[in-house]
Amino acid sequence: MSKIKTAFFCSNCGYESPKWLGKCPSCSQWNTFVEEVLDKGSSRSDDGWKNYSDNKRGSRTVALDEVSSTEERRLVTADSELNRVLGGGIVPGSIVLVAGEPGIGKSTLFLQSALQLKDIVTLYVSGEESEQQIKMRATRLNISNPNFYLLTETATNIIFQEIKKLKPQLVVVDSIQTLQSSFIESSPGSVSQIRECAAELQRFAKETNTPVFLIGHITKDGSIAGPKILEHMVDTVLQFEGERNYTYRILRTLKNRFGSTAELGIYEMTTEGMRSVINPSEILLTHKEEQLSGGAIAATIEGLRPLLIEVQALVTPSVYGTPQRTVSGFDLRRLQLLLAVLEKRGGFQFGLKDVFLNIAGGLKVEDPSIDLAVICALLSSYEDIPVPQHICFAGEVGLNGEIRAVNRVEQRIAEAEKLGFEKIVVSRHNKKGFDNKQFSIEVVALGRVDEVYQLLF
């Protein structure tokens, strides 16, 4: 018998060491090394993908000038938001990792997308749910597909045996943390198991030109569970996020070798599955019959898509000694910076006030162009005077109280015009970047925050 070796792996980053170390040389974390048994003596047999398909990729040296630059034909799904996030569709031979919180809707989304692809043979491998559970979900989705096949298995050697029999054109694995390779003698979900199973699936995807979707878990701090090398091995990393108390979900691109990482998909969770939100601006805006103070509309950009969102602020006298600063969907340090600008440049006494800020709809916005709307919402609540409903804002605020220019202002103006707004406030420096005559909406270009205060109040 060949000798079985053990190795030590960092549970945080996956660094491998022949002996135990107190501090990881790669990520500098302490006490993260765990011992795992490696079955190095098992000889790996040939995967047998040579006769799998006719369009397998060759592995020979070729000059760069001989490579054809024709774009690969993508597999277009029935989900327009998924196509947008992937860069136009599923690339043959790509391996995609999708991560998100438990219960957020990852399995539902990709079960629904796979069931809608009725022209191709799809294999759905589940290591977490039984066949009856998946059947119940498919019945709830009310989609039938005769080319959709199920396999409830965690051993990779059995999965690949079934793949050789079925020869699917798309494989969905739910989830990568439940798979177990016979070459590694450690428990499923460990660093070495995740790395080995992902490597075997990557080898299968590249040699057979078959796209593979891997559904993964996340840790309590929001990062993808498993070694960091897992994200480097795959072609695309998608993050599925959203608040449990809201019905809206966001599919965000963290890495994409075949498209832009700035894309974003928005879904609504319904009883019949995930519904694509074509025009999210109308949903994110609250239509109120009476005007209330503390609200302002911001024109922001999420990915390549313009959005209009509502910023809500509440400013009240502080009852306790230390004023509270509470935010939802916005950066707390950014709020403190904007309050300091209002105190220094405008003379408003926010130091004795409790300030609460909320981005309506459960979104988390990092675009600095909503600074102007945040300041207007704060001033509106401070003065208890509502901001007119027909006006929106797009501008970044600097430390000196100046309104700085934002990128792609034409798309923001066009989105505001489409939704019926009569006026949009932008930076004076943005005025040079577009032709005002092409828009019917009134574009107000201002340079400082005090000018905005005089305009509104």
Sequence ranges of the binding site for ATP: 100-107
Radius of gyration from C-alpha coordinates of the chain? 26
Q: How far apart are the first and last CA of the chain?
A: 84
Output DSSP code: residue 30: B
Q: How far apart are CA 294 and CA 382, in angstroms?
A: 8
Q: How far apart are CA 431 and CA 338, in angstroms?
A: 24
Burial grade of 287 (CB within 10 A; 0-12, 13-18, 19 or more):
exposed
Phi, psi of 285 (to 5 degrees): -95, 130
Q: How far apart are CA 408 and CA 318, in angstroms?
A: 39
* 232, 97 contact by CB (below 8 A): no
Give me 6's structure tokens. Answer: 């053990």
C-alpha dihedral, 26 to 28 to 32 to 34, nearest 10°: 30
C-alpha triplet 385, 388, 391: angle, nearest 5°: 135
Q: How far apart are CA 213 and CA 194, in angstroms?
A: 15
Residue whose pair of structure tokens reads 């501090």 in the numeric block? 23
Q: How far apart are CA 313 and CA 294, in angstroms?
A: 5
* 304, 262 contact by CB (below 8 A): yes
Amino acid at 443: V
* 36, 186 contact by CB (below 8 A): yes
Output DSSP code: residue 27: T
**Displacement of CA 161 from its chain's centroid (Å):** 33
Helices 106-116 + 131-141 axis angle, to 10: 70
Q: How far apart are CA 59 and CA 70, in angstroms?
A: 19
Going by the annotation, the residues of the binding site are 100-107
Give alpha helix (H) positions in 265-363.
280-284, 332-341
Q: How far apart are CA 231 and CA 236, in angstroms?
A: 8
